[in-house]
Structure formats: C-alpha cells, structure tokens
Amino acid sequence: MIQYKKCEAGDEKWVIEIVKQFRNQTISTQKAKDLVNNKNIWIYIAYDNDIVCGYTLSYVLERMDCDSNMLMIYHCFVNDSYWHQHIGQTLMEMVLEQAHQMHYTFLITQDTNEAANGLYQKLGGQLHNENKNVYYWYGLSKPKI
C-alpha cells in the first residue's frame, strides 16, 4: 500500500534513496540530514514498503517585494512502474495544501512534457503566457498573466 509523508528529521534514508533511484547519484548521510533539517526545503515522498515511488522537492524563497514567501516546486517525479496511480497528483496536492498561506507557488516545466502539463493544469495551475518557458502559478496572488 502506497503511503505519503513529508520528510523531516530522521528521514535521511529516504532522501539518500531518492537521490540514488531518481538521480543515479549518491549523497552522504550528512548531506541528507542537512536537507531534511532545512525548513526552506520541502521533500514529500510516496513509498511502498521500502521503495520510493515518487517525490516532490520544493524550495521556500524569500521575497524582497512583500512579506510573504513564495514556493518553487523544483521536482515532481514518479517511478515509471508506479505511473497511473495518481501518485504525482497526490504529492502535488500535499505540497499545494501546505503552500496555501504563501504569496504564490510556481514551477517550471517543458512544453513537451504532456503528462506534467496535464497534471499541473488539472490542479488549477495557470500558464504564464508571456514567457518562453512553461510556468504554472498557484495561489491567490498569482501574477497577472
């Protein structure tokens, strides 16, 4: 059964596994510890027993033009063998729920990534029409597009 959680102190093993499985690299336990202990880095995972099925990685960014922060969703990946189980959607919904109090949330993706674009639109994201990159904005204070 697939379970979901936000990584926190003590979840270093999950971060190490994410980097190994999805990035084909290794990181130290200390690096993983630094990531999960950083309040400006949000890592949500979907897991099935000891297998990471998918994850999101987001960064809280301080703004200089207002008192509210914004959130950049940097990664949303699901292992191919777990596709079509709404894992990416559930992870994104968890991130967006926590980010609700922020000024706005954004992500950047490729216009050729049809699955990602479909998911982001389904979740209420709006394209930024004036930028050559594909941006999706969420939240009450979205920029005028």
- Tell me the per-residue pLDDT of 116-129, one tens digit each, with 9 for 90 and over: 778 888 888 877 66
Helix (H, G, I), strand (E, B) or coil at 2: coil
Q: Is residue 133 part of a domain?
A: yes
Q: Quick one: average pLDDT of 25-45?
A: 97
- Which residue segment(s) compose the domain that 114 sits in? 3-138
Token pair listed for 96: 């967006």
Report the share of the chain in percent with pLDDT over 70: 85
Token pair listed for 117: 């674009």
Helix (H, G, I), strand (E, B) or coil at 77: strand
* pLDDT over threshold 70, residue 74: yes
Q: Quick one: average pLDDT of 2-29?
A: 97
DSSP H/E element including 64: none
Antiparallel, parallel or unpaired: β 70-78 and 104-109: parallel
Report the share of the chain in percent with pLDDT over 90: 56
Give 132's contacts (C-beta < 8 A, 6+ positions apart).
Answer: none
The pLDDT value given to residue 8: 96
Q: What is the DSSP string of 85-135?
A: SSHHHHHHHHHHHHHTTSSEEEEEE-TT-HHHHHHHHHTT-EE-TT-SSEE
Which residue bears the tokens 């729920």?
Answer: 97
The pLDDT value given to residue 109: 74
Q: Is residue 40 part of a domain?
A: yes
Q: Are 36 and 12 in contact (CB under 8 A)?
A: yes
Cα distance between residue 122 and residue 65, in whole Å: 30
* pLDDT over threshold 80, residue 136: no
Q: Is residue 145 part of a domain?
A: no
Which residue bears the tokens 């914004």?
Answer: 70
Can you give the length of the chain in residues?
145
The pLDDT value given to residue 42: 96
Helix (H, G, I), strand (E, B) or coil at 76: strand
Q: Is residue 144 part of a domain?
A: no
> What total of structural domains would you count in the chain?
1
- Please, which pLDDT band fits residue 76 given cuts at 50, 70 and 90? very high
Q: Quick one: average pLDDT of 50-64?
A: 92
CATH classification of the domain holding 26: 3.40.630.30
